[in-house]
Amino acid sequence: MIFHRCEVWEADSVIGKDIRVALEEDDRDGIQAWFGTITLTEGAALIAGQRYRLVLDDGRTGEFTVQRNTSAGDTSRAVAIRGAGPLSLPR
């Protein structure tokens, strides 16, 4: 997995900045698939089943859905995500 810093957007609003994300990318039969884990603090809320947008520190962006939230200890949570389309550079 590759680690990045990112912003998380819901509709037209940033709901988190400088968030750590571990991503795995795979090309299956010519279709890009990606998934990973976002580490959130206690105050940040992502809801399982909801769709959000990720903006990575390298400029790529993509929509994702939250698979599940789990405790990562202390005040942090590990949030499993799955891409809902490609990660790409904005046009």
Q: How far is the first Cα of the chain from the last one, in angstroms, to the nearest whole number?
A: 26
Q: What is the pLDDT of residue 60?
A: 95
Q: What is the DSSP letter of 84?
A: S
Band of pLDDT at residue 75, cut at 50, 70 and 90: low
Say which residue the tokens 């590759």 belong to: 2
* Mean pLDDT on 41-56: 82
Q: How many CB atoms lie within 10 A of CB 58?
A: 11
How far apart CA 16 and CA 83 sit, in angstroms, is 18
Q: Which residue has the higher pLDDT, 51 or 48?
A: 51
Global pTM value = 0.83
| pLDDT tops 70 at residue 15 | yes
Q: What is the DSSP string of 20-49?
A: EEEEEEEEETTEEEEEEEEEEETT----TT
Q: What is the pLDDT of residue 70?
A: 62
Q: What is the pLDDT of residue 43?
A: 59
